[in-house]
Structure 1
Amino acid sequence: MGKVLMKGNEVIGEAAILAGCHYFFGYPITPQSELVAYMAKRLPEVKGLFLQAESEVSAINMVYGASSAGVRVMTSSSSPGFSLKQEGISYLAAANLPAVIVNIARGGPGLGNIQPSQSDYFQVTKGGGHGDYYTPVLAPSTLQEIVDLTQEAFRIADQYRTPVILLGDGMLGQMMEPVEFLKTDNQIVIDKEWATTGTKGDGSPKTITSLDLNDVKLEERNCKLQEKYKLIRRNEIKVDTYLMEDAEMAIVAYGTVARICQSAIDRVRDEGMKIGLIRPISLWPYPTDVIASYCERLNKIVVVEMSAGQMVEDVRLSVEGKVPISFYGRTGGIIPTVEELVEQFQMHGNGVLR
């Protein structure tokens, strides 16, 4: 197929279709509305089903129904709409149902604005809804990575029978870059013997539910979920590093802002600063051990986010006080520039804490 120039939101849609997702239920909200529009156009062309629900609450529960029938299914939203999906995501997790949920985050809290932000970190990594559950979270930083991680999200969802979140922001959703769609094993849809597709007169009916009125049975369900999360923690951590081989100071950033950090790192490297980047790709499970492995030779870690400082808490847990940690963030949808990050890195590199 070769490389094609596409917008980020549309890249997600095409990658999902190539991964075998032919069912989409969603509701338009800026800055992810192009994904909804793309699926509305493309899914009928591949004999799939697109349905615009009357609300985000309806959309996530339609996902629950479609997943119960064993199909690959996706929904998408942006921050306030994603908040409305939390109860349904908790239901999916409790019922062991695979699905992919896209959040193209925008400025908050409240209705906020339509500019890029990373202030949904707590919501996506700490469960978000009620109960003791987690969802794997993948955070791409380029549109080509969106292709790969969208397909990977469906693989993880099916393998572990869990909802998976693809987290981007308004900048990733709206930008255009050349991408290539390659066939991978992630496009193989596995047989789901548990799906409620009917008995056809053979065997007992199958039931999928998140309800357990018996407290002992509910605890058993919770214990099984926790065992699954231990397995995901063991197998699905994804992280990238840049110039960490000799780094004495590390920048920890993810998604869009990690790209900007990399450019700023290149500039201060030219000035002789030994600085590198650790970029978590899986925000849950978090690459705690990878960050901890650098502690012995780091003088400082600077966490950069488009938020008031949410991921910084996971970095603190990772280093357990062994390395001084500073934070630099912008909120309200403001994207930090390379120039201001260069200034911050120089300041931190000289031992000045912000």
Structure 2
Amino acid sequence: MNSRLDPRRWLHYLLAPLDGPLTLLILILVGYAAVVMVSASPERLGTLALNTAVAFSVMWIAAKTPPSRMMSAALPLYAIGVLLLIAVALFGDVSKGARRWLNIGVTRIQPSELLKIAMPLTLAWYFQSREGMLRARDFFIAAGLLLLPVGLIAKQPDLGTSILVAASGFYVLFFAGLTWRLILPVAVVGIVGIGAIVAMGDTICQPGVDWPGLREYQKHRVCTLLDPTSDPLGKGFHIIQSTIAIGSGGVFGKGWGKGTQTHLDFLPERHTDFIFAVLTEEFGLAGALFLVVVYILLIFRGLFIAAGAPTLFSRLLAGALTLIFFTYAFVNMGMVSGILPVVGVPLPFVSYGGTALVTLCLGVGMLMSIQRHRRRVGT
């Protein structure tokens, strides 16, 4: 048989770039997503399959790409991303009161998605270039690189994406050795601020009270989190219905396809941001815990890859990408459960949405590339 037509050779070619544990975990998550999607929104199953095929192709290509090539692409990607964000601010399409999309003729793009990957790439490249010469000013320069796109994204406004981009950059700063003397004051201010909002909620949530730096709808999100019943048919509807769905699931759930909140159309955005509520209503606490365990294993595998990475760039990038998965899951579950404001962050690898799935699988592919490169260096 011609070796070029040997199916075993082709199978080896396809599987060689992939990391076994990561691939298995992603397949479990995507399979779980398909099961829930059949119940939540079966008409979207075909598009989900197409999105998954595209995302896995991107993951495979990223896994084949050496980390050195990723590092060389970091600064151009960052520059392109920032320029596109500026173009959005000047010429972007306005939809639902937000200017997030850029029309390029054949389609519309959301440049902020690019920064979820370009940001950790760029900061990892920066610290790699400063390895052995790090000073305090380098962290301030890195913080400036981070704050520029975060500010542009927050201005659109897109609080959810700005949080994710900010988190991805902060993780690189933290792993690079950011001192606790700078972290603790910010953390203390944040805790005090949250405590003040909770304590004075009844006063500052009154109509006519402006919150500096926040839009009116962002104020409503926080105030609704404090008391969803203040607007049960408006801003509080999402949280009330999702917490009812989660609570009614019990330990083992109502059964697949039997969620009343889902199928009686009480639960909004049930196939995207609030799919965790669908999952918990139908599969209960057991189904939610299974999902959490899979996420924990995914995070442990990513941190294991980061710990064994051969270069500073690879370690910083792998650590940041891994904790981005954690941030996605934590923020989504928190907002659906009513302990965080609703900010439009999808449940990683489970929520319906092609752009988010492609971005996440790109991150997984980078982790696979780092692991594959480590094996080659060690041989």
TM-score range for the pair, normalised by the shorter chain length: under 0.3
Pair member with larger Rg: 2
Q: Would you tell me which structure has more strand in proportion to its own residues? A: 1
TM-score (norm 1): 0.25
TM-score (norm 2): 0.23
